[in-house]
Structure 1
């Protein structure tokens, strides 16, 4: 099994990066091949809404680092998308990435929906400063539903709250829970 982690945070060594790496570590311990991408290291521009990807067989017309990610996603069995919560929702980096998925995946209600692209497993992990993990629950549920409409098999939406008080790497409870998520994903124990 191949599992790819996406770090949609401008902080390469922050809480989001740590949680994604711990999840991948747990998957790797179960024999999964893992790889991670930090969006801060990539040049990904917003979708143009030109529909070129749907009106040709060449995919997205934008020639940027998203082309590398399309190939990586195609070869992956499962994805982990980690994002900090900014202004009550995913980061700008995560949103640009999500919008650009349209070139490969279409919502079920879209006339461009491609059945053969369906079924990638996905874990969403959000990190936030606020200690109330349910504060943005409506948004997290919405995001899960959106990925399900793209035909992702969303296995978990995990919210790591209270990051202002204590960073992720200092929280003993997170070491095992993040690795357990990765282990479960590699072994498909959801």
Structure 2
């Protein structure tokens, strides 16, 4: 099984990176092959809204690192996507990536991707936030989960790690096992 991690935080040593890595660690312990991407290291430009991805055999007119990421997603069995919550929603890096996922929306209309490219791929969507109230951004989290379901991902879990203002995630002993178990469950299902 191949699982890719996508970190949508500009902080490589931050909470989001630690959370995604712990989930991948749990999957690796069950024999999964993992690969990690930091969106802040990739050259991904904003969607131009031109519909070329749906209306031509050429796919997206923007030639950047999104093509590499799309092909990696196509070859993966599961994705772990992590973003901090900034200003009540995902990070800017996450938003650019998600907007570029438009080419996957209803892939049957786009010859650029195989029809089965997203259908059935498992997804762990994880958020972390400074505020300790886990329900504070629930509407947005539910909206984002639904958006990935519209893209035909099989969203397995949406762990939301709260209270990050009280200290780094790696200092919370309760999270280590929980996150590794989340990764293990991707493989053992």
User: Shared fold (TM-score greater than 0.5)?
Assistant: yes
1:106 corresponding residue in structure 2: 105
1:187 corresponding residue in structure 2: 188
User: What CA distance in whole angstroms lies between the structure 1 residues aligned with 2:78 and 2:171?
Assistant: 27
Structure 1 moving runs of 4+ over 3 Å: 110-115
**What SS does the corresponding residue of 1:164 show, helix, strand or coil?**
helix
Correspondence 1:82 to 2:82: yes
Q: Deviations over 1:39-66 (max 9, x none)?
A: 1111111000111111112221111111
Correspondence 1:134 to 2:135: yes
Shift of 1:107: 4.6
1:22 corresponding residue in structure 2: 22
User: What CA distance in whole angstroms lies between the structure 1 residues aligned with 2:60 and 2:121?
Assistant: 20
* 1:1-190 correspondence runs (5 A): 1-103=1-103, 105-107=104-106, 115-117=115-117, 118-188=119-189
**What SS does the corresponding residue of 2:165 show, helix, strand or coil?**
coil
User: What CA distance in whole angstroms lies between the structure 1 residues aligned with 2:4 and 2:83?
Assistant: 14
User: What TM-score, normalized by structure 1, do the two folds share?
Assistant: 0.93
User: What TM-score, normalized by structure 2, do the two folds share?
Assistant: 0.94
Q: Deviations over 1:103-154 (max 9, x none)?
A: 2x1159x966975331111000001000111110111111111111111100
Whether contact under 8 Å (2:8, 2:94) holds in the other structure is yes
* Structure 1, unaligned runs of 5 or more: none
Higher mean Cα deviation, 58-67 or 85-94?
58-67
**What SS does the corresponding residue of 2:158 show, helix, strand or coil?**
strand
Whether contact under 8 Å (2:54, 2:109) holds in the other structure is no
User: What CA distance in whole angstroms lies between the structure 2 residues aligned with 1:98 and 1:170?
Assistant: 30
User: What CA distance in whole angstroms lies between the structure 2 residues aligned with 1:149 and 1:107?
Assistant: 8
Number of equivalences: 186
- CA RMSD in angstroms comes to 1.7
User: What CA distance in whole angstroms lies between the structure 2 residues aligned with 1:176 and 1:86?
Assistant: 26
User: What CA distance in whole angstroms lies between the structure 1 residues aligned with 2:116 and 2:181?
Assistant: 30
**What SS does the corresponding residue of 2:16 show, helix, strand or coil?**
helix
